[in-house]
Structure 1
Amino acid sequence: MESELLRIFNEDHQPIGVATRAEIHEKGYWHETFHYWLMEKKQGIDYIFLQLRSPKKKDYPQLLDITAAGHLLANETVEDGIREVKEEIGLSVHMEELKSLGILKYSVKMDPLLDNELAHVFLHQKNVPFDSFVLQEEEVAGIYRIKFTDFSALWRDQKEYIPMQGFEVENGEKNFFEKSVGKEQFVPHDQSFYAALINKIQQELK
C-alpha cells in the first residue's frame, strides 16, 4: 500500500507529478482523496454515520472517521473512488445517488506523518440499517451514528461530549454499544475541516 502511486499537486490543485504514498506522507505533498459521508433521517432527526478505524491501522487506529474514504490512485478518476464504500463498509452505491459537496483542503501533521489532502467530498442521504454494513475488518472495526445536531455542536465547541450508537465487530460478530465521545475520539482533522463540512451539509439539508 505504501508503494501505491498517487498524483501530487501544488496548493492551487495543479498537478505536478506522481509519487508513492509513503513519499507523499513523508514530504507532505498535496494529493487527492475520496470522502463518502452517509446520513439518514429518522422521525425527523438527521443522523450522520462514522466508521471506527481498525486497531490494525497504521494511522489513527480506533478513532472515529469519515463513513468511508480512500486515496485516489494515479490512474483513477474521482468517480473511481466510490469503490472505497463497497470495500470498507460493504454498501453498494452509485455516483448518481451522491451529492457533491466540492473539494475540501486540509492538513494533518502528526510526526512523522504530513498529510495534505484535496478531498472530493460526497454526501449520501439514505436510511441504512446497521445490518446492511459488512466491514473490511482490517480497515474498519465498527460503525456508529450520531445526531447531526450533536456532531455540529461538538465541532462548534457548543458541547464537550456527545452520545452515539452503533456496533463493533469482534471475531466476526457485531456487538452493539451506546457511548459518549469527545473530540479526542475522532481522527484529528483540523477543526476548520469539520466546520466547513458541517456548513456544506447544512446547506444540503435546508
Structure 2
Amino acid sequence: MNMETLKVFNEHRQETGVASREEVHQKGLWHETFQCWFVSIENGKPYVYLQKRSATKQDFPNLFDITAAGHLLSHETLQDGVREVEEELGLYVSFDELYSGGIKIDPVTLGNFVDREFAHVFIYNCKKDLHDFTLQQEEVSGMIKVELSEFNQLWEEKLDQVRITGFVVDEEGKAEELDEWVGTDAFVPHSKEYYQEIVQDMYDCLEDNGK
C-alpha cells in the first residue's frame, strides 16, 4: 500500500513539495484540507450539523467537529475533496452544490501535534435529517445539531453552553439519542474568530440560496 502524501507549502501558499501526513504534523508544515460544514433549516431556524470524532482518533478524540473534512492528498484536486462527505457520512454531494467560504487559516497545536492548514471551506445547505447519514465509524461516532444563532453566541462568549441534539453510535453500531448542554471544551479547539467566520459563511450561504 502506498503511503499517503500531501502537498506542502510555505506560509505564502507557494507549493514546496510533498510529505507524508505524519511528517506534515510533526514538523508543522503547511498543507491543504477540505472542510464541508452543513447548515439546515428547521422550523424556520438555521442549525449547524457537526460530527463527533471517534474515540479512536489520534487527534481530538470524542470532540465535536466540522460536519465532514479531510486532507487533500498530493494527487487530488480541490473538487476531489468532496469525497470526504460520502466517506464519512454516506451522503453523495456534488461539488457544484457547495457554497465556497474561501481559504481560512487557523493553526492548531496540541503537544507535539502541529496542524497548519490552508483550509478550503465550503458550506452545504442540507435538506436531510441527521438520521439519514451512514457514519464511517472508525472516523465518526455521532452527529449533532446546534441552533446556529446559539452556536455563534457561544463563540462570541455571550453563552456558556449550547444545547446539542443528535445521536452517538456504540461499538456494536447501535445509535443512542443525545440531548445535552455543552460548552466550548466539547468542540475541536479552533479559535473563536475562526468559528465566527464559519458562522458568517453559513448565513451568507443561506442568503445566497434564498433560504
TM score, norm. by length of structure 1: 0.96
Aligned residue in 2 for 1:15: 15
Aligned residue in 2 for 1:136: 136
Secondary structure of 2:102 counterpart: strand
Aligned residue in 2 for 1:192: 193
Amino acid paired to 1:204: C
Any runs of at least 4 consecutive aligned residues in structure 1 with deviations exceeding 3 A, and if so which?
none
Count residues in correspondence: 206
Greater shift, 140-149 or 183-192, is seen at 183-192
Amino acid paired to 1:95: F
Greater shift, 140-149 or 120-129, is seen at 120-129
Q: Does 1:124 align with 2:124?
A: yes
Aligned residue in 2 for 1:158: 158
Amino acid paired to 1:113: F
Q: Does 1:183 align with 2:191?
A: no
Structure 2 unaligned residues grouped into runs of 5+: none
Counterpart-to-counterpart distance in 2, 1:200 and 1:83 = 21
1:92: how far off?
0.9
1:203: how far off?
2.7
Counterpart-to-counterpart distance in 1, 2:200 and 2:38 = 16
Counterpart-to-counterpart distance in 2, 1:201 and 1:133 = 20
1:201: how far off?
2.2
Q: How does 1:47-86 map to 2 (within 5 A)?
A: 47-86=47-86
Q: Please tell me the root mean square deviation across aligned C-alpha atoms, in Å.
A: 1.4
Counterpart-to-counterpart distance in 2, 1:130 and 1:71 = 24
1:174: how far off?
1.2
Counterpart-to-counterpart distance in 2, 1:20 and 1:193 = 26
1:108: how far off?
0.3
TM score, norm. by length of structure 2: 0.94
Provide Cα deviations, 1:1-24, integer angstroms capped at 9, x if missing partner.
9x4200011111111111111111
Amino acid paired to 2:57: K
Counterpart-to-counterpart distance in 2, 1:81 and 1:157 = 32
Counterpart-to-counterpart distance in 1, 2:9 and 2:126 = 33
1:120: how far off?
0.5
Counterpart-to-counterpart distance in 2, 1:19 and 1:27 = 10
Counterpart-to-counterpart distance in 2, 1:85 and 1:205 = 20
Provide Cα deviations, 1:89-137, integer angstroms capped at 9, x if missing partner.
1111111111111111110011110100000011111221123110010
Amino acid paired to 1:91: L
Structure 1 unaligned residues grouped into runs of 5+: none
Aligned residue in 1 for 2:40: 40
1:199: how far off?
2.4
Provide Cα deviations, 1:7-43, integer angstroms capped at 9, x if missing partner.
0111111111111111110111110000011111011
Amino acid paired to 1:21: R
Counterpart-to-counterpart distance in 1, 2:137 and 2:200 = 31
